[in-house]
Amino acid sequence: MKISVIGSGYVGLVSGACFTDFGHHVICADVDASKIEALNSGKIPIYEPGLEQIVSRNSNNGTLSFTTDVEAAVRETDVVFIAVGTPSRRGDGHADLSYVYAAARTIAKAMKGYTVVVNKSTVPVGTGDEVERIIRETNPNADFSVVSNPEFLREGAAIEDFKRPDRIVVGVEDERAKAAMEEVYRPLFLNQSPLLFVNRRTSELIKYAANGFLAMKITFINEMADLCESVGANVQDVARGIGLDNRIGSKFLNAGPGYGGSCFPKDTLALAKTAQDYDHPVRLIETTIAINDNRKRAMARRVIAACDGDVRGKKIAILGLTFKPNTDDMRDAPSISIIQALQDAGADIHAYDPEGMEEAKKLLGNVTYCDNAYSVAENADALVIVTEWDAFRALDLSRLKASMKSHNLIDLRNIYRKDYIEKAGFQYISVGRP
């Protein structure tokens, strides 16, 4: 099939590249000329393992191309995916749908013949109805269907998730659109990926419900971690104990500094706002948001306590800046709130991240960025592990101890054992463990 993807950011680029691996011909379109220029020269604007190889391979064989001419891309294709950003809107927290609606107007002007317009952006319930209205208003003679097909991609594992999904959710309102989407995802039938067809509004809500539930699960285990510290229990054992129950499962039960990233913060907020608009507030989600926001700065207080209650003028070394490993995404990363709170308390922040420092520089000022985990620790009063990159799991503790001023190691991801670290001569503080 001929497919176009409007928006060449994280979701659009991964989706377009993977579709070409399935044998489809894909045009990725974006109004950002610098991004398209970079892609046409082989430069990938995001860090995602394996993506560069897929883009290079399919660009070279002619099945994947990039353009700033969005209308031309739409005219040449049968299925158009909208994969633009839907950030939280300033002022009220609702999802900002201006980019989605702008894409809908562009599509309406350009489409030729029957076209399936697929919303892959994360959008509140009813957005598909509005996209359909905009297209019909802009081009009354258009022959089209609007479909909801939310993405469920984990940053750092997006290609695997796209090619071997546990489910593909498609919201359709007519049989022609259903047949087209079956053809789009036909290559995945060999993997027996469940293709779940529902109505459009249900599909839109499934995405928010999934992210809301996972955010609650993370927040729940973080609450249990705090309780474990008070009663002398071990949150990792609690997580194993409840995770072995098949009704609960073990995923998303790792205690830490709170969730971040491009999805959970904005999607939980958008879900809460949508529910309020329909006069059915989702109290669990609202509480989850509040707990998570407070938790990030609370982690800074943990660091301050480890430094005898005062970090003014002290060097605090931060290991890991991105919200999770294997990505360069800094959106709503816990490190931002932690560093800002430590800076407010007078700390001198030095930081290292394997992939995220260029993005971090756009968000965090007065931070000294270092070349590796050892240079960041030199003369430090405390070393704080914020992101669980593999590169931090087997550090040379004797080398760290020799270079640090004070031997405080605050492990906010529980990647080390207490006895192992204390045997090396460190004061060790983790999360939810006695």
**In 3-state terms, what secondary structure has residue 210?**
helix
Q: How many CB atoms lie within 10 A of CB 427?
A: 14
Q: How confident is the model at residue 345 (pLDDT cuts 50, 70, 90)?
A: very high
The reported pLDDT for the residue numbered 93 is: 85
Average pLDDT over residues 43-62: 94
* Class of the domain covering 2-198: alpha beta
Sheet holding 79-82, edge to edge: 64-67, 25-29, 2-6, 79-82, 115-119, 144-148, 168-171, 195-198
Confirm whether 2-198 and 295-429 share one CATH topology: yes
| Domain coordinates in residue numbering, the chain | 2-198, 295-429
* Predicted pLDDT at 434: 85
- Residue-wise pLDDT for 121-164, tens only, equals 999 999 999 999 999 999 999 999 999 999 999 999 999 999 99
Average pLDDT, the chain: 96
**Encoded tokens for 235:** 């949150």
Going by C-beta distance under 8 Å and a sequence separation of 6 or more, which residues neighbour residue 159? 14, 17, 18, 48, 49, 50, 51, 54
Give residue 408's pLDDT: 97
Look at residue 32 and tell me whether its pLDDT is greater than 90: yes
Q: Is 18 labeled as catalytic in the residue annotation? A: no
Q: What is the pLDDT of residue 189?
A: 79
Of 199, 124, 120, 127, nearest to 153 by C-alpha is 120
- Which residue out of 28, 228, 263, 370 is catalytically annotated? 263
pTM of the entire structure? Answer: 0.92
pLDDT of residue 194: 87
How confident is residue 290, by pLDDT bands cut at 50, 70 and 90? very high
Residue 190: pLDDT band by 50, 70, 90 thresholds?
A: confident
Tell me which of 358 and 262 has the higher pLDDT.
358
CATH top-level class of 295-429: alpha beta
Contact 117, 82 (CB under 8 A): yes
pLDDT higher than 90, residue 211: yes
pLDDT 10s digits, 269-285: 999 999 999 999 999 99
Name the band, by pLDDT with cuts 50, 70 and 90, for residue 91.
confident
Q: What is the per-residue pLDDT for 191? A: 67
Contact at 8 Å (CB) between 405 and 247? no
